[in-house]
Amino acid sequence: MRIIGGNFKGKILLQPKDKKTRPLKDLTKESIFNVLNHSNKFLFSLKNSYILDLFSGVGSFGIECLSREAFHVTFVENYPNVLNLLKKNLANFKKQINYEIKNSDILENNFFKKIQK
């Protein structure tokens, strides 16, 4: 798995070895960003935006957003095996990006009320 566009294009991300996590594939990310950038149904600019990456896994979507100049990404993940990989992946870019990690279950009561930004 790699970053497919932006400032970090081509950088490799660590992946989980277990079957409990299914990382977002490169083709899926490419499709998402193509729809966002080329749709005539809505205006969209990723630059300087705030992104909430729920069920972050190893962070491929959020890091892709940061690579494409999003201002800040909040990663939310609570699976310990993947959380460690997320932290390692982000450590490779630490000086260049603005992010936070929430080790939380989004299905818990009032999760969204606790998030600010």
pLDDT in tens, 32-55: 989 988 888 888 889 989 999 999
Total number of domains constituting the chain: 1
Domain that holds residue 95: 45-104
What pLDDT is attached to residue 117?
54
- Residue 114 domain-assigned? no
Q: Return the pLDDT at 115.
A: 65
Q: Identify whether 100 is part of a domain.
A: yes
Whole-angstrom CA distances from 24 to 41, 42, 96, 112, 114 are 25, 24, 23, 23, 26
Q: What are phi and psi of 73, to 5 degrees?
A: -130, 130
| Residue 40: CA count within 13 A, CB half-sphere | 0
Residue 78 domain flag: yes
| pLDDT confidence band for 116 (50 / 70 / 90) | low
The two tokens of residue 7 are 């400032």
- Tell me whether residue 111 is in a domain: no
Give percent above pLDDT 70 in the chain. Answer: 95
For the domain that residue 72 is a member of, what is the CATH number? Answer: 3.40.50.150
